[in-house]
Structure 1
């Protein structure tokens, strides 16, 4: 029996970003910029999603001259379903100050 866990906030952010246009191929760097993740956090998430069948990965077929090909990513049908099943983003909770600010 496989355990079903709720995705981390970082994984959910990646799924949501990809779900904005699930048919479009996206570069890892572009996704990282959009969701605010560095490569050391982003690429393990992308690999895990791909291993679970939620994401498909492909090499860029025609990179500009002199640049090596990059990986491209997009959601599979199962990935679209997983993104749709995510809980909606909650509004950030702001603490309310009940006491006056201490004098400096």
Structure 2
């Protein structure tokens, strides 16, 4: 059984960024810059949301020789519904 998501400031900040462009693929680094979340907070949140089916993730091709591929993230349809419901019940995330 999946644990419910605790609604924290970090989660709201992350969902706010992701819901601003729900079809866009985001790099973790860009999400960190957008939200101000440190890697030790951001990546566990991303992993948890992905395991719950609220985010999808894929690897990008390296952009330059010698650069590793990067993980990309975006909201799933369930994730968009989750954000919409969160807005409706708490107004925690900006309405988009």
TM class by shorter chain equals: 0.7 to 0.9
Following superposition, which runs of at least 4 residues in structure 1 exceed 3 angstroms of deviation? 1-6
Distance 1:70 1:82 in 2: 26
By how many angstroms is 1:28 displaced? 0.3
> Normalising to structure 1: TM-score of the pair?
0.77
Q: Report the 3-state secondary structure (helix = DSSP H, G, I; strand = E; otherwise coil) of the residue aligned with 1:85.
A: helix
Distance 2:33 2:5 in 1: 26
Corresponding residue for residue 34 of structure 2: 34
Ranges in structure 2 where 5+ consecutive residues have no aligned partner: none
CA RMSD of aligned residues (A): 1.9
- What is the number of equivalent residue pairs in this alignment? 90
> Normalising to structure 2: TM-score of the pair?
0.82
Normalized per residue, the structure richer in helix is: 2
